[in-house]
Amino acid sequence: MKIVDVKCAVIGKNPVVRIVTDEGISGYGEVEQYKPFLKPNILYFREALIGQDPTDVERVMLRIRPRGGFKPWGSAVSVIEMALWDIAGKAAGLPVYKLLGGKVRDQVRVYNGALRVPMQSFDPADYAEEAARMKALPEGFTIVKQGIAFHSPMKEAVPGFYYGDPPGQHKVFHGFADTGTLTERGLKHIVACVEAMKEVLGDDVGLALDCGPGFTARDALRFARAVEPLNLMWLEDMITGDYTQYVNADVYRDVTQATTTPIHTGEQIYLRQNFKGLIEGHAVNVIGPDPCDVGGIAELKWVAEYANLHGIMMAPHGTGDGLLGLAALVQVCATLPQNFIAFEYPAGNPTWWYDIVDGLPDPIVKNGMIDVWDRPGMGVELNPERTKPYLSEDDADFFD
């Protein structure tokens, strides 16, 4: 089998790659909805892929892996990797999890990261209301995540929140560049909002917090200690993360070693080598690589196995990965070791995505879990006829 073409279309806001073979099998992968600009980056790899055997996934990846980077630039490599596994599974007549070593669980737990609504204000009562809404979702999530502090408009909406530059002065791509020392008022406000959410969720639903980047190490520790009695699932990306192009494992370790609140990071990191400091140094308690950023699903599995050797837990990121990304997460998380907690549930956005993807269960999530399906490849397919109306004029030949 040989690759004869590589196509990419931005469907909605998600770049979708289609790798075409000479045996009539195509493989698909999807990039986060926040990255429609990556289409030319993905197509840049076309010449390196033409003529290769897509079922030799690692051999093909060796040709392109050195050209990726931390989020968002690892996505172009990662999406190709997932499309290759889709082809390999279809060619073998097996679900991808079989090719990754076989499943160790029949269901995978997900936590809510995508099914949120924009908040208009950021007082404790507003967070309590949103927590109640998420708790009542029909998916029955047993873990939910909420953005606070520097990973939310709270930093601008709450007067005197921190001693940094004027809020929004450093607003850049994706909007998370503000940082500074918290005021006493700011710290108390965050803690009050967390307490309000926990009051609603009780011990029925675990609460994780997406916090930054933006915290100083000192404030990260003050906050982590202040919420120790609340038994949070984790505090995510307080110091670095998201679109940060470095890790700062030593700084994370100073915080992690001094609190019982679990500390989490890793969504922006590309490749296993860049997790070494976090894992070998026990710098965090939980890591959260995203298959669309880390280099693909085999890379994510390698990182999970290595973390497990060091007693570090695994909660993969995925909020914007779309429905094809959801399928990839289901396949790989079925194979992860016992350090797996849950992965972040991606949603179809816009909702017509649910009309153009075949193979998803209905409902997808029951009691916070997804049943692992057994269809070949990733187990889902884009329906050409139902997808074509959503293709731009430039992408009209995507299925040709």
In this predicted model, what pLDDT tens digit does every residue of 28-54 receive, in sequence order? 999 999 999 999 999 999 999 999 999
For residues 71 and 268, the answer to whether their CB atoms sit within 8 Å is yes
**3-class secondary structure, 390:** helix
Distance CA 129, CA 199 (A): 11
Distance CA 389, CA 382 (A): 13
Distance CA 5, CA 180 (A): 48
Distance CA 18, CA 397 (A): 11
Token pair recorded at residue 240: 């670095």
Which fold does the domain 98-378 belong to in CATH?
TIM Barrel (3.20.20)
Which fold does the domain 3-93+383-395 belong to in CATH?
Enolase-like; domain 1 (3.30.390)
CB atoms within 10 A of CB 43: 15
Q: Which of 255, 262, 304 is nearest to 279 (CA)?
A: 304
Q: CB-based burial of residue 221 (10 Å sphere; 0-12 exposed, 13-18 middle, 19+ buried)? A: buried
Distance CA 381, CA 11 (A): 14
Mean pLDDT of 116-139: 96
Distance CA 140, CA 342 (A): 14
Q: For 224-239, how does the pLDDT look when each residue is reduced to its tens digit (9 = 90+)?
A: 999 999 999 999 999 9
**Element of type H or E holding 330:** helix 322-333
User: What integer best gives the mean pLDDT of the chain?
Assistant: 96
Give percent above pLDDT 70 in the chain. 97
Residues of the chain with CATH 3.30.390.10: 3-93+383-395
- For residue 179, the model assigns a pLDDT of 87
Distance CA 215, CA 209 (A): 13
Mean pLDDT of 19-24: 98
**Higher per-residue pLDDT: 165 or 20:** 20
pLDDT at 116 over 80: yes
pLDDT at 275 over 90: yes
- Indicate the pLDDT class of residue 8, thresholds 50, 70 and 90: very high
Which of 126-135, 170-179, 307-316 is the least confident region? 170-179
- For residue 164, the model assigns a pLDDT of 77
Q: Which of 144, 83, 132, 118 is nearest to 325 (CA)?
A: 83
Residues of the chain with CATH 3.20.20.120: 98-378
Which of 177-181, 262-266, 270-274, 348-352 is the least confident region? 177-181
**3-class secondary structure, 64:** helix
Mean pLDDT of 310-328: 98
Measure the CA dihedral 71/144/348/371, to 10°: 110
- Indicate the pLDDT class of residue 391, thresholds 50, 70 and 90: very high
DSSP string, 173-207: GGG-----PBPHHHHHHHHHHHHHHHHHHTTTSEE
- For residue 374, the model assigns a pLDDT of 97
- For residue 176, the model assigns a pLDDT of 60
pTM of the model: 0.96
- For residue 30, the model assigns a pLDDT of 98
For residues 243 and 174, the answer to whether their CB atoms sit within 8 Å is yes
Mean pLDDT of 74-88: 98
The angle, 0 to 180 degrees and rounded to 10, between the axes of the packed helices 184-201 and 217-226 is: 40
Distance CA 290, CA 294 (A): 6
Mean pLDDT of 49-67: 98
Measure the CA dihedral 209/210/214/219, to 10°: 10
